Structure 1
């Protein structure tokens, strides 16, 4: 998956862990001007401790003051040399002393690495429905470990269906020991909560699930149907593989005729030639090639991708994925011990399919398809179809109102004098879908508006020695429920995701070539939920930012770096803040704060 890591020397990695902090504090590279707002200089005077724990400084789904009613280990597995093997699976039944219902269920994935290994992508499914997509860090020392927590409240219907047993928990984590010896030992646990999950000591911090624009609805669905490979438990996992922009994989499902709302949740990860798609340049020859030739043009088609869905081959919406940086990308030292934004809990993407229910309420099977525009080999995709049903009706009526999905406007420009030059891609799109559903609460119309704007620019100078990449993604989604001309509920999500990467290869007489890199990456999300024109509006805000800079020998045998991660989440009067600074694989600062202290840390 990451062939550059095969040349990593264990001895040099140990030297890096012991001496990189010294290199950082002696001011290496300090005279270079920073690309970013703010100063990346790390605090002095503290003694860094090399940490074996890798972390993601996000809002925890459960606070230390909250004790689960019961906990259950549902799967244990050592992932060694198992490329091509089926996923690890275990039978699932609810703990007898902790029956349904629960206030919350939190999944915990605990992983330890026995030795050096490269980064992998993994997934966990419950009866074929994915509940977690995650990427492993690169364990740079024996005994490295990490934990991933995710609130499974959204998947309550899955767990409730398994109340009488018979369920299967599956986990896919392909690993190879042909070059590096590390084995991933994983435990998957479920923690069940009952009663209030808040108390006087934790009211200043939100106790909601990890905030995300990808879940626009408060209440969980009544049914969750997997859109995945039906034989995944016995094959290569439940995910579908997309190798090009024309490939669409589909699952046939029949939904209850009394369904009044439908949301498709899509999971994606990218691999092979598209592992760093967000840095792809656009080459001149790609612009003038035929469509067939473009599909196979390696790493030359620019940094635009869109994951999308179809119903019976009709396009019903899509999202540009947030660029999660894997631990092998750009400079692997940046992601030790703090991983990239979204790496431990990779984003899923919601498409509200309620306007299209008229296509699916006839009781017959229909094809839900998944594809990736401009894809290179390869992407792994699957989805969950969340359905809300009207228990007061055997069937509901539905019909279309508006379908507006013009082609995304693309602006491509490339000027190359190999190896130097520049390329730019601009993409803008606006789509609107609406449809009515008549059920026990009346005849309601759901309107979905989705707007995207993307800009990617790649500049290469000085005979390929200096590269600068600017990537900006903006998305706005609004879902409105109306009765006649009056809206009853509205959900709006706004995403802003800029990235900047600059690399410079420095050659010195008698010394190996060094590649210096600086990175800025940020995720900003604002979600507003409104109940009626005169009702209350709740707004959550999330800002997750990472800055990093460092050096590495060309060829990948040594590297050093420092990073700063800043995470802030606000939900009304509740908020959470965490700032983590690292140098040479060590955490040298880690500060957490609630609303009462955030103003002091600003």
Structure 2
């Protein structure tokens, strides 16, 4: 049985352009300590999955919301049956001013019947403020919610804007699930948060024109491999010489690059997101989704070294590409927002790029035939860019260093009845700002891991065992002395089995899943874990 037959991903859900369940993830400075507490659910665990299960949940921390006055605006309310976008109008809230301490987006959804997982986005004034995917429903129906801190887009929210939302869907005699969603923004009055002065989208031909007094420029790219085809599970692709259902000349190494006027300005490792039909086994994800599945986080690139160039008042070309995608093949969506901080005391901030060092791109995939077949991959890249700006508070030099690495071993048997992967990605970045006063450095070490296998037995029973890891370490220092730090470890594990090629009510599916989300550092500690069995939430545990 070929994987292309049994793989259930985002079939047909191509994005035109584009966070976890229940409460959304908090920023590193927004978590609070909790006492150790375990709660075992009293509900009986069935012998196998039935026609209903627990609504989707996540172990991620809730967003910390300010007390006091708040105002809510509905952005969108729609039922998605096809690929027709919802279009509406946003009007800023009355009664909470135009400078907010926090802005929180909330998506509430419900769906029943049978449906694939689907990708979606929300745009306000052309700015992408949410990229998300959906759970797969039970016949009896489920509800889920997503929250996201969108305070950084405050500049966009201060003006009336067009709204566009799409969760591309197919509804027919087989796939009956209509996606019924509502999206709101809640604005919290109080001491205004520090946010970018401008939020800009790229113009025609991917051009960017920044204010001439920009002193910090950050690009964010909501990069997702999606829309049907092999790029949804790019990490499993193999060289053309290997007998596997997903082939790519360069194998599975992927790198998201951003260029300014043709010059490489940023590199990043994409997160290996697994959607809720992934690894051929939706029973893994019915209650607990994989990391980031419902809150697709953008890749961030600090383009401040290029500010002197971009501040000349002319349009500059900004392009995003993905290394490793076969030429002419679709499957990646890479919308770009540009966040700009301005120098209020200068009409024009000048400067130049002083350093641009690009290491050789390493990308080697070695195929070893046999039983099982095997592909070993090693990839990586380095980039250093530095530039200065002459601001109202003196000359400021920004240096960005980024190093990527990927190793993976992929093994499979003839017919792909056994298919496994053990992979690690690292993305190590440091940004140093040197001007008046001691130099300030933010060092971020990101590590993504995927270890699992899918096996189809002679009895057509398909079993998937999988562990996913999303880890990050952030250290801030000033003058060489650490001033703040945080560590994140979001780990998902699952083991689920069902009978393939039979009607839904004959699958006799069983499965155990768990997630542990740990976030700790100079701001405190958060540690929460969830366990489910056959779709029943059996344990919640809070530590710290």
TM-score, structure 1 normalization: 0.77
Preserved contact between residue 420 and residue 464 of structure 1 (Cα < 8 Å)? no
User: Which residue does 1:55 correspond to in 2?
Assistant: 57
* SS of 1:476 mapped into structure 2: strand
Q: Structure 2: give runs of 5+ residues left out of the alignment.
A: 10-38, 47-51
Tell me the CA shift for residue 464 of structure 1: 4.3
Which residue does the alignment assign to 2:352? 399
The residue aligned with 2:501 is 555
2:447 is aligned with 1:491 = no
Distance 2:246 2:108 in 1: 39
Moved more, 52-61 or 107-116: 52-61
Partner of 2:266: 317
Q: Give the Cα–Cα distance (whole angstroms) in 1 for the partners of residues 162 and 89 of structure 2.
A: 5
Map 1:343-354; keep pairs closer than 5 Å. 343-354=293-304
Select the residue among 351, 369, 378 that pairs with 1:426.
378
CA distance in 2, matches of 1:391, 1:91: 31
* Distance in 2 (alpha carbons) for counterparts of 1:463 and 1:381: 33
Q: CA deviation at 1:58?
A: 1.0
C-alpha separation between the residues in 2 aligned to 1:128 and 1:3? Answer: 37
Structure 1 counterpart of 2:307, from 332, 337, 357: 357
1:573 positional shift:
4.5
Q: CA separation in 2, counterparts of 1:6 and 1:524? A: 26
- 8 A contact 2:248–2:324 mirrored in 1: no
Query: What is the distance in 1 between the residues matched to 2:73 and 2:121?
Result: 19
DSSP 3-state at the match of 2:345 = coil
* Partner Cα separation in structure 2 for residue 369 and residue 569 of structure 1: 34
Residue 465 of structure 1 deviates from its aligned partner by 3.6
1:572 matches 2:522: yes
Provide the residue aligned with 2:18 in structure 1: none
Match of 2:455 in 1: 504
Report the alpha carbon displacement of residue 299 of structure 1 after superposing the two structures with TM.
5.2
Q: In the superposition, relative to structure 1, how do residues 184 and 317 fare at CA in structure 2: closer, same or farther (>3 Å)?
A: same
* 1:453-504 deviation per Cα after TM superposition (whole angstroms, max 9, x unaligned): 10111112477443321110111100001139x7521111111111101222
Match among 188, 192, 202 for residue 187 of structure 2: 192
Is contact 1:493–1:528 with CA below 8 Å preserved after alignment? yes
Corresponding residue of 1:221: 196
Using the TM superposition, give the Cα deviation of residue 140 of structure 1 relative to its aligned residue in structure 2, in angstroms: 2.0
| Residues in 1 aligned to 2:92 and 2:184: alpha-carbon distance in whole angstroms | 12
Contact 2:69 2:96 in 1 (8 A): no
The match for 2:99 is 101
SS of match in other structure, 2:439: strand
Aligned to 1:371: 321
Tell me if 1:409 matches 2:362. yes
Question: 1:5-44 alignment to 2 at 5 Å?
Answer: none
For 1:45 and 1:131, the matched residues in 2 are separated by 39
Superimposed CA distance per residue, residues 535-573 of structure 1 (whole angstroms, 9 cap, x where no aligned partner):
x61112111001111212233752321111101111424
Give the secondary-structure state (helix, strand or coil) at the position aligned to 2:223. Answer: strand
How many residues align structurally?
Answer: 495
Deviation above 3 Å: which 4+ runs of structure 1?
2-7, 42-46, 48-52, 65-68, 296-301, 461-465, 531-534, 554-557
Distance change (3 Å), C-alpha of 1:328 and 1:6: closer
Cα distance, 1:533–1:297 mapped onto 2, change above 3 Å: closer
1:415-455 deviation line (CA, Å, top 9, x unaligned) = 224x7411111012221000011101110110000011101
CA deviation map 1:500-559 (0-9, x unaligned): 01222222xxxx32122211111111112234445x611121110011112122337523
Aligned to 1:20: none
Is 1:174 matched up with 2:168?
yes
Is this contact kept in 1: 2:112–2:138, CA < 8 A?
A: no
Query: How far off is 1:125 after superposition?
Result: 1.1
Residues 70/494 of structure 1: CA separation in 2 closer, same or farther (3 Å cut): same
Counterparts of 1:403 and 1:351 in 2: how far apart (Å)?
15
Q: Which residue of 2 aligns with 1:514?
A: 461
1:264 match: 219
Query: Displacement of 1:5 after TM fit?
Result: 8.4
Indicate how the Cα distance of structure 1 residues 219 and 492 shifts in structure 2: closer, same or farther if over 3 A, else same: farther
8 Å Cα contact 1:6-1:180 kept in structure 2: no
Matches of 2:8 and 2:378, distance apart in 1: 36
CA RMSD of aligned residues (A): 2.7
Does the alignment pair 1:332 with 2:282?
yes
Counterpart for residue 78 of structure 1: 79
Q: Answer yes or no: is the 8 Å Cα contact 2:71–2:94 preserved in 1.
A: no
1:377 Cα deviation (Å)?
2.5
Rounded Cα–Cα distance in structure 1 between residues aligned with 2:342 and 2:6: 50
Q: Which digits, 9 at most, give the CA deviation of each residue in 1:338-357, with x for residues without a partner? A: 11110110121111111112
CA distance in 2, matches of 1:313, 1:585: 50
Matched, 1:475 2:427: yes
> Residue by residue, what CA displacement relative to the aligned partner does 1:42-65 show, whole Å, maximum 9, x if unpaired?
9898634954421222121135x9
1:530 and 2:480 equivalent? no
TM-score calculated relative to the size of structure 2: 0.85
Distance 1:285 1:182, change over 3 A: closer
Quote the offset at 1:219 in angstroms.
3.9
What is the DSSP-based 3-state SS (H/G/I as helix, E as strand, rest coil) of the residue aligned with 1:54?
coil
- Alignment partner of 1:441 is 2:439: no
Match of 1:36 in 2: none
Q: Is the Cα–Cα contact under 8 Å of residues 236 and 246 in structure 2 kept in the other structure?
A: no
Match of 2:12 in 1: none
1:95 deviates by: 2.0
